[in-house]
Amino acid sequence: MKTFKIGGVHPQDKKLTAQKPIITLAAPKEAIFPLEQHIGAPAKPIVNVGDRVKTGQMIAEAGGFVSAPVHSSVTGTVSKIAEYTDPQGFSKQAIYIKAEENDEWADGIIISDKLETKTSLDAKEIIKKISDAGIVGLGGACFPTHVKLTPPADCKIDSLIINAVECEPYLTHNHRLMLEKAGEVIIGTRLLMKALGIEKAYIGIESNKMDAVNHLRETAEKLSDFVHIIEIVPLKMKYPQGSEKHLIEAITGREVKSGAIPASVGVVVQNVGTAFAVYEAVQFNKPLIDLFMTVTGSSMTEGGNFRVRMGTSMKEVLDMVGGIPADAEKVIGGGPMMGRCISNIDTPITKRSSAILCLEKQKTVREDVLDCIRCGKCMGTCPMGLEPYLLAKLTEIEDWSELEEHYIMDCIECGCCTFTCPSHRPLLDYVRYGKFKVGTIIRNRK
């Protein structure tokens, strides 16, 4: 089975909610739409306080090319444009909308469960629709999708990879999506291929989801148009299989050079959730107003997979599953390896959300830190082939130029080093800070 060559770890494979079908949650009573839900320039509001907006209507336009518009997920009145507190506790700008009882969909949006396989649009029109729908990469980075679909002129794209690896423990929403919306995913993939003007795509899935592999294979065969070839590739279970660069290497054998983008080796990678969103946007004009997420935790009995409207309060979502379990020590947005701790749950679901994970104390406890015993395990597991112990030490002594020479900017912050360290050293904490510092220095140089 295919996988990447260097490093990687095997976190305990915990998928508590893999058998739970996706439940669509009701629209919230008050929705909050942050203007910064993506990488790039923040969106600019185009509505005023007191305006009535329909579901799916654009309420903030893209603030530049690398940016994405924001759409309302409810029908209601704009109550204020003010600050909100993000999951980490920082204050940022958002549009608040007081929702009405029933949805009134914006013009042009088709509400249908029927699988629409045909499209007459060309690449430009598809990309325009994706851009208008405010679609961003739903794998966590939130990079605007239309930017990825317009690669630099000197890059010749020949394949598309759909990232359906879901290599983080606990997360299951992509798995459920593939089982329940296989047709939509396949058509979405084909639309992305059309947008890129290519005829070859791969869907990479970790081998603990063989049911999804088989189901997608059958669906792809059934829906095949004999031009666009979609290959489903089962991948070995190894973290961080879902990292963009490692996924490309595992499937195509091409290595993205240090500092380069995937397009430089002729590949574009999109998340499986994005493929679904693209399907809805292109076929039904439906903007990105909801997303799939896993809500889980060892002692959460009612956890599961949900389709949640943007702007719903995280607290509301958690209440739906019986609230945060009493023994929860940490509430994490995302998976246990790369997710960010949430210190404030009175915050809306955004395009950045992917999962809410409640971990109890014994699972997340950080043991006492001992001296480095130079076992080299962090180097053995680093999928980028870096020297985490050294990077951490150099960050501690603030030797930024030496850090740059040791390729700190290549770090993908996967956390394998901290995960492995027998001395329980917080290697990634330091490396992440060092990377931030060196990144700032490099940017200032330009």
Partner 1 sequence: MSNYTVAPAPHVHGGDSVKKNMLNVIIALMPAYLAGCWYFGIGALIVSCVAMVSCVAFEWFISKFILKKQPQINDLSALLTGLLLGMNLPSSLPWWMVIVGSLVAIGIGKMSFGGLGNNLFNPALVGRVFLLISFPAAMTTWPIPDQLSLFGSVDALTAATPLAYIKQGIFTTFTEADMILGNIGGSLGETSSIALILGLIYLLATRTITWHIPISIIGTVLIFTGIMHGIDPCTYASPLLHITSGGLLLGSIFMATDYVTSPMTKVGQLIFGAGIGIITVVIRLFGSYPEGISFAILIMNAVVPLINRYIRPKRFGAK
Partner 2 sequence: MNIIVVSLIVLGTIGIIAAVILFFVAKKFYVEEDPRIAEIENALPGANCGGCGFAGCKNFASACVSATELGDLRCPVGGNNAMNAIAEILGVTVAETKPKVAVLRCAGTCAVRPRTSHYNGVSSCAIATATFAGETGCSFGCLGYGDCAKACTFGAITVNPETGLAEVDEDKCTACGACVKACPKGILELRFKGSKSRRIYVSCANKDKGAKARKACSAACIGCGKCVKECPFGAITLENNLAYIDYNLCRLCKKCVAVCPTGSIQALNFPVIKKDENI
Provide the binding-site residues for partner 1, judged by CB under 8 A: 6, 9, 11-12, 169, 245-246, 249, 255-258, 260, 328-332, 334, 336-346, 359, 363-364, 366-367, 370-377, 379-380, 382-387, 389, 407, 410, 413, 415, 418-424, 426, 428-429, 432
Peptide bond into 240 cis (omega under 30): yes
List the single partner that 120 binds among partner 1, partner 2, none, CB under 5 to 8 Å by kind.
none
Q: Taking Cα atoms as reference points, which of 170, 186, 204 lies closest to residue 1?
A: 204
To partner 1, the closest distance from the beta carbon of 393 in angstroms equals 12
- Token pair, residue 248, equals 């490309």
Residue 89, interface with partner 2 (CB under 8 A)?
Answer: yes
Q: What are phi and psi for residue 46, nearest 5 degrees? A: -120, 15
Residue 370, interface with partner 2 (CB under 8 A)?
Answer: no
Residue 65, interface with partner 2 (CB under 8 A)?
Answer: no
Of the two residues 86 and 290, which places its CB atom closer to partner 2 in the complex?
86
Among residues 13, 83, 122, 211, the one that binds partner 2 under rule CB under 8 A: 83
Of the two residues 154 and 367, which places its CB atom closer to partner 1 in the complex?
367
List the single partner that 391 binds among partner 2, partner 1, none, CB under 5 to 8 Å by kind.
none
The mark string for 406-425 relative to partner 2 (x by CB under 8 A, - otherwise) is --------------------
List the single partner that 436 binds among partner 1, partner 2, none, CB under 5 to 8 Å by kind.
partner 2
Cβ neighbourhood burial of 73 (10 Å; 0-12, 13-18, 19+): buried
Q: What share of the chain is helix, strand, coil (3-state, %, to 5)?
A: 30, 20, 45
CB 337 within 8 A of CB 412: no
To partner 1, the closest distance from the beta carbon of 257 in angstroms equals 5
Of the two residues 124 and 340, which places its CB atom closer to partner 1 in the complex?
340
Among residues 113, 118, 326, 366, the one that binds partner 2 under rule CB under 8 A: 366
The full length of the chain comes to 446
Interacting residues of 166 by C-beta distance below 8 A, sequence separation 6+: 172, 174, 175, 205, 206, 209, 242
Helix (H) or strand (E) holding 219: helix 210-222
> How many chain residues touch partner 2 (CB under 8 A)?
18
Among residues 24, 88, 112, 440, the one that binds partner 2 under rule CB under 8 A: 88
To partner 1, the closest distance from the beta carbon of 247 in angstroms equals 12
To partner 2, the closest distance from the beta carbon of 32 in angstroms equals 14
Among residues 24, 91, 299, 440, the one that binds partner 2 under rule CB under 8 A: 91
What is the Cα–Cα distance from 193 to 216, expressed in whole angstroms? 17
To partner 2, the closest distance from the beta carbon of 68 in angstroms equals 24
Of the two residues 86 and 316, which places its CB atom closer to partner 2 in the complex?
86
Q: Taking Cα atoms as reference points, which of 111, 141, 97, 100 lies closest to residue 24?
A: 111
Of the two residues 118 and 366, which places its CB atom closer to partner 2 in the complex?
366
Q: Taking Cα atoms as reference points, which of 398, 389, 395, 380 lies closest to residue 423?
A: 389
- Token pair, residue 184, equals 């939509």
- Token pair, residue 213, equals 């592999």
Give the interface segment with partner 2, choosing from 84-92, 135-143, 223-231, 246-254 (CB under 8 A).
84-92
3-state SS string for 220-240: HHHCCCCCCEEEEEEECCCEC
List the single partner that 83 binds among partner 2, partner 1, none, CB under 5 to 8 Å by kind.
partner 2
Residue 341, interface with partner 2 (CB under 8 A)?
Answer: yes
Of the two residues 31 and 331, which places its CB atom closer to partner 2 in the complex?
331
Residue 344, interface with partner 2 (CB under 8 A)?
Answer: yes
What is the Cα–Cα distance from 38 to 325, expressed in whole angstroms? 30
**Chain-centre distance for alpha carbon 131:** 17
Q: Taking Cα atoms as reference points, which of 181, 193, 201 lies closest to residue 115?
A: 181
Cβ neighbourhood burial of 374 (10 Å; 0-12, 13-18, 19+): exposed
Describe the crossing of helices 182-196 and 272-284 by its angle, rounded to 10 degrees.
Answer: 80
To partner 2, the closest distance from the beta carbon of 392 in angstroms equals 10
Q: 């080299």: which residue's tokens? A: 376
Of the two residues 222 and 424, which places its CB atom closer to partner 1 in the complex?
424
The mark string for 424-443 relative to partner 2 (x by CB under 8 A, - otherwise) is --x--xx-xx--x-------
Of the two residues 65 and 436, which places its CB atom closer to partner 2 in the complex?
436
What is the Cα–Cα distance from 438 to 444, expressed in whole angstroms? 10
List of residues contacting partner 2 (CB under 8 A): 82-83, 85, 88-91, 340-341, 343-344, 366, 426, 429-430, 432-433, 436
